[in-house]
Structure 1
Amino acid sequence: MSDDATAGGPVEARLPAWAADYWANDLVKIGATLAAVYAVYLVIGALLGYDLSGQLNSLRRLTFLIVLYSIAALVVNLHWGYSGLFNIGVVGFMATGVYTTTMLSRPLQGQNPTGTLPGLGLPFPVAVVGGVLAAAAVGYVAALPSLRLRDDYFAIVTLAFAEIIRITVKASELQEFTVFGVTLGTGGGRGIRTYPNPVDEFFAGPGQPVVEAVSALGVDGSLVAGWAFVLVLVVLLAGVYLLITRLAESPFGRVLKAIRDDEQATLGLAKDTASFKIRAFIVGCAVLGLLGIVWQGSQGYVSPSLFIPQLTFFIWIAVIVGGAGSNTGSIVGTILFVGVVYLGPDYLRRLVEEYVSLSGSVPTFPGAVGALAGGDPQGVLLYTLDQTSTLRVVLTGVFLVWLLRTNPDGLFGDRREIASSIDLEDRVERRRARGDADGQEGGGSE
């Protein structure tokens, strides 16, 4: 069953009947978009002279980011697209999950290597559950103001919570502290080493048959662990997608969509809207906590600088591209955002450096403008190539403005799910058609 309210759309209208039937399937939309982005990156890799290992590593990184951003986008869609909760503190709940899991899983004092921060020494699965529950608990505290605040003020509250969490784990007082005789620590501004990645450890041992088989084909054996971890994340994405889809189709989800459309009317139907919103927010925050654990924690090191508001804004842009209220749109929007806007500038820089002969360096914007005023456009190009991260932000803004002008509802915004489980418009049309038929029969009998 589709996660969207209607099966048709502007794309289906331009396709032949047999192709429209396939395109109506949401998995086909996701697969076709992903295949198109893959094809572009394979062509770019060929232009850059990548061998098989280079191509596989490029696609691995692309898929890794698409999957992780898609999970976050689905949670934002649950909060905003279904519940009407404007959550722009996504990174705060991710930080809660990964920091809690790290402190719970690190060895006890005296058992840890010299110079590293101790923890509670709990088994890793238990620590993961603790991190998810901690993120859910913080989400509950953050959701309480939603009982009295409108959307814009609630957004400010969630942003403030995220910054409070980031500043708290960055505080020097919490770099190492003792509670009830147990020493813990967040590492402060320096950060902290996290837990080992179980997938990497599994493939790290000597004599791994899969690694040896891949190496015999001339492919870098280290890619095996990377792709295996990506496949684990794909399974996690599928689970989150099914969870949110089933939740949206349940009576609980229909109430959430009714709250989003008209909270006062939903109150008039004797629904405790505050309770529904809080529960939806807690579920999303728990998933974000798990996302922080598998995303940032899997890198082996985590620091407060990873959880800046910019990451939240990137996730929101992916949702806006696809269209709020559509799970399929959230994933398709993420594929396009990561492939075009997030990673695109870096590959564009590599292509220019590969095929355009440039010399020198222009580290400042005034220097680039001065070179351009002197009739040398190479200065602007050199400066732009040195500022890939800045170019990403600029492209994000340009892309967002273009999208809001051409399609403000996003690619799938016109398919936002309705609160009712019954297609009322279809029922009205059928009743009207039946009435017209009855009228024609009555006229004929006269």
Structure 2
Amino acid sequence: MNVDDVRRRLEDLGDSDVPLVLVVLGAIYVAYILAGVAFGYGLRGQLNSIANLTFFIGVFAMLALALNLQWGYTGLFNIGIVGFMGIGVYVTALVSKPPVAEGGAAQVGGFGFPLIVGVVAGVSVTALIGFLIALPALRLRADYLAIVTVAFSEIVRFTMMSRTFQEFTVPDTISFSVLGTEVLTLDPTADTVGLGGGGGLILNYTDPLEALLRALFLWEPYLGFVGIVEGTIIPGNPKPVLDGLLYGAVLLIGVGLFYLLLMRTANSPFGRVLKAIREDEDVANALGKDTVRFKLIAFVLGSALMGLAGILWYSGRGSITPPSFRPNITFYVWIALIIGGAGSNTGSVLGGAIFAGLLYEGPRYFKNLVQAAFELGDAPRNFGEAVAPFASLDPVPFVLYTLDSVSQLRLVIMGVVLIWLMHNRPEGLLGHRKETAASVDLARPGSGGASGNPAAADGGEER
């Protein structure tokens, strides 16, 4: 790579949306740090706040990117996102939980395989389920696919709660055969496994962060670093704080990997076919493309990424329960994608960050900030007590009641934001994008082709 190549890459970076994403991320983090100062947080509180923010930015950006592959690139209307997340983490738990579960007789065990095996199994089963769902549904119109996926997500949740699958006995020997020939035989050490029913599961397998650091031979150096910090910077036990920060950093790296994968996919011939299907499936069919096969691959890949995001979201929590997989998470991911702009990978990351920082966690921080700045007293216990003082022109009880209920009002705030976007910025914050129409320069000599930029067409993302 010569100097001209480096200069051209820097110019391309300046023309792209990456600097905008970095600026927005920096502004969100600065706002949270200033809010921590207003709350009187010490170093430990500030680091916990940053770790929590980073976690939600990471998971929502990952899920928005996965949805962008299905909807933004291919036009597949999937509103069963949380179902794929649930399959990923539950299969991982089933495979990797130790045979004898900790936490009492109400809990069930798993097969006790290493966590990496559980993650691979979770992603693989999620992809397989996505394939089975998409195989008949993709031959229907988009609204039917939406109905199928939302019904699927509810079936998954009720299956998690079912007593039938709460606990079941494992055979002494499990054999796998192909065409009558036995290819694999397993002797499970677990007597009973299950999904835990309404009580959920305790995830008493190896912590995902510890498993990753051990795989990279960094666990012992990390413990040494924790010991240094404990004695010099953060008093008490700094490990939970550092674990949160490091896990958030791992999630951001995961976002980067998701981004690179989807950018390579979008700029490949496969990705250009997906965009053609999004614009006009009949034309793509007329050009000889097997659109059902392409849509099937895109849906399966997106579902697998959603399963992986679910594993990363919930595996560090220590336990999972079926109510964690209600449809509202699906709608949160859709809001994040709409904010950034469907069809744009940088928009997906930007939308995930804005949603996590301002709409998901922001209302709670705003409430705490107002309460820290003003001595407002106790909030009324119900809506009637909040509106009654309006008769004497006293709005303070209603304001207190609203602040106290701000977490429940998040959906209202999100709805207002969506209405504003639909009226003022329906294409998302990054606006209408342009995408390369070919991997080679199609411009005529002297018409701008010398700049090294291929011809572009409306409809997607330039980079």
1:349 and 2:357 correspond: no
Q: Are the counterparts in 1 of residues 95 and 112 from structure 2 also a CA contact under 8 Å?
A: yes
Q: CA deviation at 1:408?
A: 0.8
Alignment of 1:10-21 (within 5 A): none
Q: 1:253 aligns with which of 265, 271, 276?
A: 271
**3-state SS of the aligned residue for 1:430?**
coil
Cα separation, 1, equivalents of 2:150 and 2:435: 27
> What code does the residue aligned with 2:39 have?
L
Cα separation, 1, equivalents of 2:208 and 2:149: 32
Q: Which residue of 2 aligns with 1:380?
A: 398
1:218 and 2:230 correspond: no
> What code does the residue aligned with 1:180 have?
P
Q: Which residue of 2 aligns with 1:94?
A: 85
**3-state SS of the aligned residue for 1:414?**
coil
**3-state SS of the aligned residue for 1:408?**
coil
Residues 206 and 330 from structure 1, CA distance in 2 versus in 1: closer, same or farther, beyond 3 angstroms?
closer
Q: How big is the alpha-carbon RMSD for the aligned residues of Structure 1 and Structure 2?
A: 2.6
1:122 and 2:113 correspond: yes
Q: CA deviation at 1:422?
A: 6.2
Q: 2:30 aligns with which of 39, 51, 55?
A: 39
Q: CA deviation at 1:248?
A: 0.8
Q: 2:252 aligns with which of 230, 234, 250?
A: 234
Q: Which residue of 2 aligns with 1:27?
A: 18
* Deviations, residues 236-270 of structure 1 (Å, cap 9, x unaligned): 11111111110111111110000000000000011
Q: CA deviation at 1:45?
A: 1.2
Cα separation, 2, equivalents of 1:292 and 1:240: 14
Cα separation, 2, equivalents of 1:267 and 1:206: 56
Q: Which residue of 2 aligns with 1:15?
A: none
Q: CA deviation at 1:141?
A: 1.4
Q: CA deviation at 1:157?
A: 0.8
Q: 2:161 aligns with which of 170, 178, 184?
A: 170
* Deviations, residues 121-151 of structure 1 (Å, cap 9, x unaligned): 2222111111111100111112123332111
**3-state SS of the aligned residue for 2:192?**
strand
Q: Across the two proteins, how many residue pairs are aligned to each other?
A: 412
* Deviations, residues 169-220 of structure 1 (Å, cap 9, x unaligned): 1112211122535521111111101133142576998993211222234325
Cα separation, 2, equivalents of 1:269 and 1:428: 29
Percent sequence identity is 45
Q: Which residue of 1 aligns with 2:56?
A: 65
Q: Which residue of 2 aligns with 1:305?
A: 323
Q: 1:196 aligns with which of 201, 206, 222?
A: 206
Q: Are the counterparts in 1 of residues 64 and 352 from structure 2 also a CA contact under 8 Å?
A: yes
Q: Are the counterparts in 1 of residues 103 and 202 from structure 2 also a CA contact under 8 Å?
A: no
Q: CA deviation at 1:114?
A: 5.0
Q: Are the counterparts in 2 of residues 88 and 158 from structure 1 also a CA contact under 8 Å?
A: yes
**3-state SS of the aligned residue for 1:390?**
coil
* Structure 2 unaligned residues grouped into runs of 5+: 1-9, 173-190, 449-463
* Deviations, residues 291-315 of structure 1 (Å, cap 9, x unaligned): 1111112111001111111111111
> What code does the residue aligned with 1:197 have?
D
TM-score, with normalisation over the residues of structure 1?
0.86
* Structure 1 unaligned residues grouped into runs of 5+: 1-18, 432-446
Q: Which residue of 1 aligns with 2:447?
A: 430
**3-state SS of the aligned residue for 1:296?**
helix
TM-score, with normalisation over the residues of structure 2?
0.83
1:398 and 2:419 correspond: no
**3-state SS of the aligned residue for 1:417?**
strand
Cα separation, 2, equivalents of 1:207 and 1:335: 28
**3-state SS of the aligned residue for 2:110?**
coil
Residues 386 and 237 from structure 1, CA distance in 2 versus in 1: closer, same or farther, beyond 3 angstroms?
same
Q: 1:49 aligns with which of 32, 40, 52?
A: 40
Q: Are the counterparts in 2 of residues 175 and 186 from structure 1 also a CA contact under 8 Å?
A: yes
The 10-residue stretch of structure 1 (355-364 or 233-242) with the greater mean CA deviation from structure 2: 355-364
Q: Which residue of 2 aligns with 1:282?
A: 300
Q: CA deviation at 1:104?
A: 0.9
Cα separation, 2, equivalents of 1:268 and 1:98: 41
Cα separation, 2, equivalents of 1:377 and 1:112: 52
1:417 and 2:435 correspond: yes
Residues 427 and 343 from structure 1, CA distance in 2 versus in 1: closer, same or farther, beyond 3 angstroms?
farther
